[in-house]
Amino acid sequence: MPVRLMELFVDTLQKCGTRLLEMSDEDVGYCIFEEFDIGSASFLHEDALLKLKEANLITEEISQKSIVLRNKFIEIQNTEQWNIQSVRESREWREILELSDEIKNLLPKR
């Protein structure tokens, strides 16, 4: 179970990051507003992160940064920045995208 949870955690992180800025608006919208939105609710949740930590699949640092990432994402939902143009241009979205990249870089290489 924890191994599958780890796969879903990593997959969620893959849907968010600065590489999205090179994608089409349609792809950005799908990755952020559908895939990452759904995945962050489950796989960046503190309960999921605790299971991953207990299985020694992520570190405390990854867990804490993931909580911050999820909270930043939740804060931006249903605001005027909840659109593709803001993903490309706003400082708040840039922080979210860069934090996702930072977390991915902390993950053990597979």
The confidence score (pLDDT) of residue 109 equals 76
Give yes or no for residue 62 having a pLDDT over 80: yes
Q: For the whole model, what pTM was predicted?
A: 0.94
Cα separation of 32 and 40, whole Å?
A: 10
- Residue 77, both tokens: 């939902």
pLDDT in tens, 23-58: 999 999 999 999 999 999 999 999 999 999 999 999
The helix-helix angle for 60-76 and 91-106 (nearest 10°) equals 160
Q: For residue 110, what pLDDT band results from cuts at 50, 70 and 90?
A: low
Domain extents for the chain? 2-105
Which residue blocks in the chain are alpha helix, DSSP H? Answer: 2-14, 25-30, 37-43, 46-54, 60-76, 84-89, 91-106
pLDDT in tens, 65-78: 999 999 999 999 99
